[in-house]
Amino acid sequence: MSANNELPAVSLDFGPSLESLVELARRLVRSRRASLMLPGRDTAEELHVAAASGLPADIASSARVRLGDPVSGIVAQTRRPLLVNERGRPVGRGLSAAPRPTRPARRPSYRTGSFISVPVPVLGMGYGVLNVADPVRRRGFGRDDLESLQSFAGHIAHELAFVHGQHSDAGLRWRVIQAQEEERRRIARELHDEAGHALAAAIFHIDLEKVKLPNEAGPAQEALHEARETLMQCTAMLHDIAFALRPRILDDLGLRAALRSLASRARASSGLEVTLTIAGEERPLPEVLELALFRVVQEALTNVLKHARASAASVLLRYESTRLVLVVADNGVGLRQPAAADGASALARPSLGLGGLRERVVMLGGTLEVGAASPGGTQLTVTLPLDLDGTPTNC
């Protein structure tokens, strides 16, 4: 599995409707050939022709392109469209040129001088590519053709999503999770880069003005000092919010460093004694796994701080040959709260955050269980199956 948030490729029968859509795409931009390439049934790292119009049958049946290879593989990997006319120059602002595809050895092929390739998102399968080639018009393809084809690719994506949803709604739920994480990443980056830099500049200007004030300007000095302290508090809160949304340390330094940061932040904010233990032989994990484990620990520690009335908590991540085991435990009041004023005992309200985490873990083929810890408190256990190479077994 690649280190991204995509679910693995699934084998779906899209039926004859794709042939009609590709034919419409060919006519839309008045081209002689069109094809739709989708991730392979055996591996998401390779594209194959799922539907074609005007393409020789031997080409359509045998064409294979790996991600990163020209041209469809590059478009699928970068998710950026490409328009090239006969002279080999890209047309349209924001488009990048790519090498002309080479003729595969011992595989039938044909040459084309002008083409448009646009990415097509496919639920649970990454990205496919819609290609049109050999325009009827002498002037070649234009920017309007590219825009029309991009819009039509969205229609094809909806068709693919509908078929995928008929087979399983897990892909849709996963895409929602993926979209949420991407939005968290974007907002966290903007908070850090834009708002954070603005606050730092304001603090710097206050320091400059304080230097200019005479010593006898006591009230003004005090006012600037209070304003500076307020901005410092805002900066700290901003960093906490950005970390909760999407910690850069997870992307830059990995899971161990991110979990250490979570533990230290819990200690600093509440005095909760948090111990982190990582056992077994550590090995690189896909981003989707690292992010899931981070979110579980983040939500578990948040619940401990809010509800458990605990003085200590422990986080254990154990690498085993065929699975990952994560255990978060505390010494708090446990699942059952003390008796209420009327003598009735009240169970702790279930966490909506843990419900979302359970769904994410299940989609990765794992389990999430919450129970009583020994001798007291609450214990959360997550188990995720792995292949021998460290990837999720269902990926």
CA–CA separation, 371 and 376 (whole Å): 10
Cβ 29 vs Cβ 132: under 8 Å:
yes
Given a cut of 60, is residue 100 above it in pLDDT? no
- Shortest CA distance to 262 belongs to which of 243, 281, 236? 243
CA–CA separation, 313 and 378 (whole Å): 10
- Look at residue 326 in the predicted model and tell me its pLDDT: 95
User: And the tokens for 126?
Assistant: 């990454």
Give the pLDDT confidence of 259-271 residue by residue, as tens digits: 998 899 888 888 8
Q: List b or e across 269-294, with b for residues whose CB sees 16 or more CB atoms inside 10 angstroms.
A: eeebebebeeeeeeeebbbbbbbbbb
- 3 state DSSP class of 303: helix
CA–CA separation, 210 and 221 (whole Å): 6
| Minimum mean pLDDT range among 2-6, 31-35, 227-231 | 2-6
| Minimum mean pLDDT range among 49-58, 137-146, 154-163, 360-369 | 154-163
H runs (alpha helix) in the chain:
17-28, 57-62, 72-78, 143-167, 170-190, 196-212, 218-245, 248-253, 255-270, 287-303, 352-363
SS in 3 state form for 95-112?
CCCCCCCCCCCCCCCCCC
Q: What angle do CA 287, 290, 293 make, to 5 degrees?
A: 145
| Entry pTM | 0.45
- 3 state DSSP class of 155: helix
- Look at residue 318 in the predicted model and tell me its pLDDT: 95
Highest average pLDDT, of 165-169, 196-200, 354-358, comes from 196-200
Query: What percent of the chain clears pLDDT 70, i.e. is strictly above it?
Result: 72
Give the pLDDT confidence of 123-158 residue by residue, as tens digits: 767 889 999 999 998 888 999 899 989 888 888 887
The residue among 354 and 285 whose pLDDT is bigger is 285
CA–CA separation, 136 and 236 (whole Å): 60
Query: What percent of the chain clears pLDDT 90, i.e. is strictly above it?
Result: 17
Confidence of residue 274 (pLDDT cuts 50, 70, 90): very high
Beta bridge partners of 119: 129
If one counts every other C-beta atom within 10 angstroms of the C-beta of residue 38, the result is: 24
- Look at residue 213 in the predicted model and tell me its pLDDT: 82
User: And the tokens for 227?
Assistant: 């304003």
User: And the tokens for 256?
Assistant: 């161990």
Give the pLDDT confidence of 293-329 residue by residue, as tens digits: 988 898 889 888 888 889 999 999 999 988 999 999 9
The residue among 219 and 86 whose pLDDT is bigger is 219
- Look at residue 174 in the predicted model and tell me its pLDDT: 56
Residues 6+ positions from 27 with CB-CB distance below 8 Å = none
H or E element, residue 47? strand 46-53
The residue among 66 and 345 whose pLDDT is bigger is 66
Cβ 321 vs Cβ 382: under 8 Å:
no
- Shortest CA distance to 46 belongs to which of 68, 61, 75? 68
Q: List b or e across 308-346, with b for residues whose CB sees 16 or more CB atoms inside 10 angstroms.
A: bebeebbbebebeeeebbbbbbbbbbbbeeeeeeeeeee
